[in-house]
Structure 1
């Protein structure tokens, strides 16, 4: 089974009056590039997070984010009354020097650094739950990548069928193409030379036919198609191998086009290049 590098997964869970939410986005990339986005309270999860990702993922640009929301009274705000008292004394001293001043808005006092506080929370008890939820989210991501990979495999197989049909059609036309070449060249020679040397003419025709022969390219195209199918059946992390095979298929299609002396062969080469390019685009998303 092959896997796509494009997927999204989201899982949430509720523990100790706190809701944890993991989101993972994955797109194609040459290597495995992880971008964790963790709250400061859960920074200690970065190491285990990277280890788990390397176990489940081989390639892709992966963004992993954790959010949490508390729903308990312990998250209520607190006012540092001692600091407020100190600020009040300071305001009284200022009033004694400058004389009566305008009334102070309590909201202005609240904006002073340190007056309004949130109690520090200990999230260490949530670490096991967060890691368990991460494992479930990664499993969902891998499952979605596998489903997308199955779709990509079918798209590739459909185009491999098209490549096979073009190769078979071209191979079946080779005898006709070679005979047409022979007759065309013989007519041109006879237009220039009244009595050509038939033995020499046959030798030249054989040499030219060898130069224009595309049977070897067709054989290699068939071999590459078989290897692509074998690789897809093998599954696993095969994206780089498939990308290499696409390059080889394209090379043979280019050679076929350069050797073409027939309209049908040229059209077949063009169609092959279109099919191969479509496969190459899809292969870029395979892990």
Structure 2
């Protein structure tokens, strides 16, 4: 089952005096790329969180956001009383204002408020770790759901290419006959008498040169292998991308060898379907 690299997950956990919200968002990327926006007191645990997320998501451009809301009386920001009093004393000599107005001005001055760095304890980190894992569960569910939609679309595109390939196989005898007739008319136009045996030899040589039997067989095999890979348990976007390149190579060769307008039109349609497949594969894990 394939999995998309796009997803979103959110989890909220409550600990004494704090409400912690964890959000995860992922987009497609060739590698794992984490952008963490977390409070400074959790920075020392960033590597641990990175490993947890990497092991779960594998690849993708991931944004991790952790928000902390203080819900109790405890706060990490305190008034620097002595500094505020000193500012108020200085301001009295400058402006004629009430004590309340002086206080409002003083607390806006540098160093009036001091923030003490909270130390994270193991219980708090376990709560954060649990919230991250809950968010990962949600984002992986999102990825799986989108993966199902991608799988359905890719199967449709492959089936369309198979149908077009059947049309190519069906009109191939007409193509060969058209080539034969084109050569015959060319000889008649230059009014040259051609030896029938020699003519047939040249026809055989020309037809063999532009024979697409091998390409048709290989293309059919690649299409089957693509669908087989889609149905495996593991999501493997890189492998699907490689197979799609091989599919494109065979389609291009058929187009260059065809020399027959109806077949070239079918090739254009196959290329169109393949481009849509390649666009979707970019988002597969």
| TM-score in terms of structure 1 length | 0.90
Which residue is 1:8 aligned to?
Answer: 8
SS at match of 1:74: coil
Which residue is 1:159 aligned to?
Answer: 157
Counterparts in 2 of 1:53 and 1:77: CA distance versus 1, 3 Å: closer
Q: Does 1:110 align with 2:95?
A: no
Deviation for aligned residue 1:160: 0.5
Counterparts in 2 of 1:126 and 1:201: CA distance versus 1, 3 Å: same
Deviations 1:181-211 (A, max 9, x none): 2233223323334532001100000011112
CA distance in 2, matches of 1:270, 1:14: 58
Once the two structures are overlaid, the 10-residue window that deviates more, 267-276 or 67-76, is 67-76
Counterparts in 2 of 1:136 and 1:50: CA distance versus 1, 3 Å: same
Once the two structures are overlaid, the 10-residue window that deviates more, 173-182 or 104-113, is 104-113
Counterparts in 2 of 1:77 and 1:134: CA distance versus 1, 3 Å: closer
> 2:27 touches 2:61 (CA, 8 Å); kept in 1?
yes
Which residue is 2:64 aligned to?
Answer: 64
Which residue is 2:39 aligned to?
Answer: 39
Deviations 1:135-184 (A, max 9, x none): 11111111111111111111110000001001111111112221232233
| Structure 2 unaligned regions, length at least 5 | none
Once the two structures are overlaid, the 10-residue window that deviates more, 184-193 or 173-182, is 184-193
Deviations 1:9-47 (A, max 9, x none): 111122213111111111111111111111112213212
> 2:76 touches 2:117 (CA, 8 Å); kept in 1?
no
Which residue is 1:23 aligned to?
Answer: 23
CA distance in 2, matches of 1:63, 1:262: 51
| Structure 1 unaligned regions, length at least 5 | 96-100
> 2:84 touches 2:103 (CA, 8 Å); kept in 1?
no
CA distance in 1, matches of 2:108, 2:119: 26
SS at match of 2:64: strand
Which residue is 1:98 aligned to?
Answer: none
CA distance in 1, matches of 2:172, 2:148: 36
SS at match of 2:231: helix
Which residue is 2:227 aligned to?
Answer: 229
Which residue is 2:268 aligned to?
Answer: 270
Q: Does 1:284 align with 2:277?
A: no
Counterparts in 2 of 1:183 and 1:82: CA distance versus 1, 3 Å: closer
Count of equivalent residues: 280
Deviation for aligned residue 1:76: 8.3
SS at match of 1:168: helix
CA distance in 2, matches of 1:75, 1:246: 57
Give runs of aligned pairs for residues 165-184 of structure 1, distance below 5 A: 165-184=163-182
CA distance in 1, matches of 2:76, 2:225: 64
Counterparts in 2 of 1:194 and 1:106: CA distance versus 1, 3 Å: closer
> 2:10 touches 2:134 (CA, 8 Å); kept in 1?
no
